[in-house]
């Protein structure tokens, strides 16, 4: 019998090793799996590479991981936002490495990893400093830059509902990076507002099929 | 800056006039978001937000805010009837893949070839941030720039070449400022509209690259004129 449900947040992030790459969903505050990130904080893994769109704000989630010296490197598109004080402080002091990636490239690199592709050529950023050191090729008369796949050891995703097979539906614009990240990690961990029975999710409306999901944990709001 | 000029709302309304009925439109953060507030009611325009929304509507009433329904600037929005949600990879397929008809972006600088610089300045104190600007700039069918004509201290933003790092090369079609509407033509900047009461020499003085003028330059009337 398949049952991907786990009983606690600690169980959800079990086994995360030092030096891991962790994909963290969310755009701004929408879709950030805050409780799972805090579980990583408690779990204690260090020297992490965090892949996420923003670099956290205030004192919670990714900002708390940075504050507690758990993050060696962040790969993101927009680290600067209102309240991103911990990232900015660590960045200025040279205590965190930043790999800046255009947002669509960030998502597509994870898609490539999840899809078993060796990368792709994109026009986004091909005329910019962000293509420095990368292969650039003319395709259909336009410069394209080669981008490599970006997978993770663990993905932390927030969804609305899951069944015990790990099928997922999301809530509004909190979906953002979740479906792509779920495909791109060795272990995909999802926090949901509620479990539903197998068969309760409309098969036509499942957004992430359970094949991409390893563990689901309920975090009531 | 003294002299005749359009208000931000008037600038946004001038952009909105150029957006055709039925267009799929992505508005950049900052001043471009004003365009959404001033589109004519008789046009059906579908706004796209990079974080996975088509059919984005205006800000909700304060008691109806849902923080899982936000725009690219992380402000709460609503979904219009017929709207849809989708994930980031699909959203950027729409942007890069030429499915968005029009994007309206802010800019630090635009060159006379249509090069766009809107993601980084020469301020090394700020960590760099790019977001979706590069994907939008290369992918939208029409790239419109809405910005002030010069910097607050009077430096040129319309230039022969950008001095700030490029977002994308040769992508901008038209620029809207408080002083003028300017096309990027094969031979450089072409003024198509000018604010009433400004003469051509003064507009050229405030522009860092040579201007030519369309045969029938239209007059923009400021609200307080």
Residue B32: phi and psi, rounded to 5, are: -55, -25
Task: Please tell me the distance in Å from B1's CA to the nearest CA on chain A.
Answer: 29
Would the CB atoms of A104 and B95 count as touching at under 8 Å? Answer: yes
DSSP letters, B124-192, are TTSPP--TTHHHHHHHSSEEEEE--SB-TT--BSEESS-SSPPSBSS-EEEEE-SSEEEEEETTEEEEE
C-alpha closest to that of A184 among A216, A152, A157: A152
DSSP letters, B27-75, are EPSSGGGGGGGSS-TTS--EEEETTTEEEEE-PPPGGG--TTSB-TTS-
Q: Which residues pair with A194 in a beta bridge?
A: A161
A138 belongs to a structural domain:
no
Number of CB pairs, chain A paired with chain B, less than 8 A apart:
138
In which domain, by residue range, is A184 found?
9-117+150-197+206-218
The dotted CATH code for B8-32+98-220 is 3.40.1080.10
DSSP label at residue B156: B
Would the CB atoms of B85 and A177 count as touching at under 8 Å? Answer: no
Q: Go through A2-34 and write b for each residue having 16 or more CB atoms within 10 A of its CB, e for each that does not.
A: eebbbeebeebbeebeeebbbbbbbbbbbbbbb
Identify which of B79, B87, B138 has the shortest CB distance to residue A124. B138
A135 belongs to a structural domain:
no
Decide which of A74 and B223 is more confident.
Answer: A74
B85 inside 8 A of chain A by CB: yes
Q: For every one of its 225 residues, what pLDDT tens digit does chain B have, with 9 covering 90 and above?
A: 578 999 999 999 999 999 999 999 999 988 999 999 899 889 999 999 999 999 999 999 999 999 999 999 999 999 999 999 999 999 999 999 999 999 999 999 999 999 999 998 877 778 889 999 999 999 999 999 999 999 999 999 999 999 999 999 999 999 999 999 999 999 999 999 999 999 999 999 999 999 999 999 999 999 764
* Number of compact structural domains in chain A: 1
A94: domain CATH number is: 3.40.1080.10
Task: Please tell me the distance in Å from B112's CA to the nearest CA on chain A.
Answer: 16
- Do B48 and B123 contact (CB within 8 A), yes or no? no
Q: Which residues of B are catalytic?
A: 50
Find tokens 């002299």 and name the residue.
Answer: B3
Would the CB atoms of A180 and B127 count as touching at under 8 Å? Answer: no
Task: Please tell me the distance in Å from A184's CA to the nearest CA on chain B.
Answer: 12
Q: Quick count: other Cβ atoms within 10 Å of Cβ A1?
A: 3
Would the CB atoms of A172 and B79 count as touching at under 8 Å? Answer: yes
Alpha-carbon distance of A44 to A18, in angstroms, equals 8
DSSP label at residue B169: S
């Amino acid at each position: 019998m398949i049952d991907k449900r786990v009983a606690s947040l600690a169980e959800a992030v079990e086994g995360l090793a030092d030096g891991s790459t962790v994909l963290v969903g969310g755009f701004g505050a929408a879709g950030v799996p805050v409780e799972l990130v805090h579980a990583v904080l408690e779990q204690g893994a260090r020297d992490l590479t965090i892949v996420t769109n923003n670099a956290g704000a205030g004192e919670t989630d990714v900002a708390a991981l940075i504050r507690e010296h758990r993050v060696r490197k962040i790969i993101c598109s927009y680290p600067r936002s209102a309240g991103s004080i911990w990232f900015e402080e660590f960045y200025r002091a040279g205590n965190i490495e930043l790999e800046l990636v255009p947002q669509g490239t960030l998502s597509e690199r994870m898609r490539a990893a999840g899809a078993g592709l060796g990368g792709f050529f994109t026009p986004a950023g091909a005329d910019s400093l962000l293509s420095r050191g990368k292969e650039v090729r003319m395709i259909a008369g336009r410069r394209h830059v080669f981008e490599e796949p970006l997978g993770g050891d663990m993905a932390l995703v927030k969804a609305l509902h899951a069944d015990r097979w790990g099928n997922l539906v999301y809530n509004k614009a909190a979906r953002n990076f979740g479906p792509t990240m779920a495909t791109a990690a060795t272990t995909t961990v999802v926090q949901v507002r509620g479990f539903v029975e197998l068969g309760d999710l409309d098969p036509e409306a499942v957004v992430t099929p359970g094949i991409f999901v390893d563990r689901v944990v309920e975090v009531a709001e | 800056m003294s002299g005749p000029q359009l208000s931000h709302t008037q600038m946004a309304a001038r952009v909105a006039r150029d957006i055709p009925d039925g267009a799929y439109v992505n508005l950049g953060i900052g001043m471009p978001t004003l365009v959404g507030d001033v589109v004519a009611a008789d046009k059906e325009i579908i706004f796209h937000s990079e974080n996975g929304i088509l059919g984005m509507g205006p800000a909700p009433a304060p008691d109806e805010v849902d923080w899982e329904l936000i725009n690219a600037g992380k402000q709460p929005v609503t979904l219009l009837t017929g709207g849809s949600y989708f994930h980031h990879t699909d959203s950027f397929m729409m942007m890069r893949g030429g499915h968005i008809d029009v994007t309206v972006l802010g800019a630090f600088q635009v060159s006379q070839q249509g090069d766009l610089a809107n993601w980084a300045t020469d301020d090394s104190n700020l960590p760099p941030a790019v977001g979706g600007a590069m994907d939008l700039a290369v992918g939208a069918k029409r790239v419109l720039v809405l910005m002030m004509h010069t910097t607050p201290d009077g430096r040129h933003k319309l230039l022969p070449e950008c001095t700030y790092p490029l977002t994308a090369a040769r992508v901008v079609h038209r620029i809207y400022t408080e002083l003028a509407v300017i096309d990027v033509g094969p031979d450089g900047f072409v003024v198509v509209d000018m604010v009433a009461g400004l003469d051509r020499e003064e507009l050229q003085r405030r522009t860092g690259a040579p201007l030519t003028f369309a045969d029938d330059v239209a007059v923009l009337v400021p609200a307080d004129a």
